[in-house]
Structure 1
């Protein structure tokens, strides 16, 4: 039986673990050839090897996803190896907490460079390649519920994530004539390697999430795969919130 993403080539940034890794894993399991990017070289190589052993074609492409040369080289490598780039998921992002009154310029610049500039220029490079191919494609951004609801000490991060959703809307004008759709997934609290370091995370978010638990990475990956599939070709400029209903009521975590 033909898999959902057979003959598709996908690039996913920030994918050494967590949500990005799960997206890569599911894409490979459904037949895609996946290029997995992470700034941590060892993590990227281990993640790609694990997916190759368990699911399908996946290749590590480590490096800083906000570096313009790396972005273009990653697109070029995928095209040279596979002939096209069909799916690009800009998942890389950094979270730097800090009080607004004392938030340093260096932290703000880092957040904007990775979360916004890296996403913008990856989308630009991908769209230029997809335009050249004349077969369309799908671009997906990873936002956050903090781009919808205020969260203490995350003004810079929330601002950057809200901006990604506006970027997706803006690009509808630019990309639709070339049959490229662009959307955003908006994860809420999610159990990943990073969040499970906090022993209170699961209990705290289970208490304040209407569905009774934080998301698993597969919950986010399922939404991502739908939006980059042929089933979602007429969906563009949209943001899909996956948060178990949290933004509907938005109680803050305690402590």
Structure 2
């Protein structure tokens, strides 16, 4: 897959899966706006990824803020002349027992996971429609959109809604040759999850293929979905979980 001269926005990309998406995109010829709410993290990621080129620029801000969402699209166009791909990867996970779940946590999860993704897709598709050359939008979902997980009712609900949004946008955006898909990662080794000393062992035991994903595994699948090789794929969710959702053993058993 090549992304020569493609212009891409990736939110929540200072670390983990989003950062690896950006690394691979730049390596394959794309020009990338790398967003993270943490300015230092975004700048550090770009310093590593860009390797001295101007093909990856940091843009720090809250991907759930409507004004900032529009700024990201404007920056892509002003800096690189267009926008071809938007990856709504930013999201937050706030665990909590359903009976005691705080309203503030609920609405923040929805604001980031749903609102940020919805309005990035809206702003990006408006620009793509104006350009007249189509485009691709990708939402980052989760296996919790497919299988119940303890203490993640709000999070799982938000991710399932993203997958329905992708299906609905097939109706809205296909006339403009804009494709919309979701990627649904399972357990993945990132700097955050590896802070838990039991994470690798637990998910190696629970994952049929014998180990959790690396960030490269998720990014590889994501890049396929936004690439020209997937030009006839839209409205779909690709689960990348080593088979976990097929049998769905709980880490709490």
Q: TM above 0.5, one fold?
A: yes
User: Is 1:34 the counterpart of 2:32 in the alignment?
Assistant: yes
Distance 2:118 2:71 in 1: 16
The equivalent residue for 1:77 is 75
Distance 2:53 2:160 in 1: 33
CA offsets 1:14-68 (integer angstroms, 9 cap, x no match): 0000000000000000000000000001000110111011887210010000111
Q: 2:133 aligns with which of 128, 132, 135?
A: 135
Distance 1:228 1:49 in 2: 24
Task: Identify which range, 148-157 or 3-12, moves more after superposition.
Answer: 3-12
The equivalent residue for 2:218 is 220
Task: Identify which range, 77-86 or 123-132, moves more after superposition.
Answer: 77-86
Secondary structure at the aligned position of 2:181 is classed as strand
Equivalent residues in 2 for 1:62-211 (5 A)?
Answer: 62-211=60-209
**Structure 1 contact 31–56 (Cα < 8 Å) conserved:** no
CA offsets 1:158-199 (integer angstroms, 9 cap, x no match): 000000000000000000000000000000000001100000
Secondary structure at the aligned position of 2:36 is classed as coil
**Structure 1 contact 190–215 (Cα < 8 Å) conserved:** yes
**Structure 1 contact 134–178 (Cα < 8 Å) conserved:** yes
Secondary structure at the aligned position of 1:37 is classed as strand
TM-score for both structures, normalised by structure 2: 0.98
Shift of 1:83: 1.0
TM-score for both structures, normalised by structure 1: 0.97
Distance 2:218 2:108 in 1: 25
Distance 2:98 2:108 in 1: 15
CA offsets 1:190-219 (integer angstroms, 9 cap, x no match): 000110000000000001101000000000
Secondary structure at the aligned position of 1:212 is classed as coil
Let me know the Cα RMSD of the aligned residues: 1.1
Secondary structure at the aligned position of 1:61 is classed as strand
Shift of 1:254: 3.6
Secondary structure at the aligned position of 2:249 is classed as coil
Structure 1, unaligned runs of 5 or more = none
- Which contiguous aligned blocks of 4+ residues in structure 1 show a shift greater than 6 angstroms? none
User: Is 1:238 the counterpart of 2:243 in the alignment?
Assistant: no
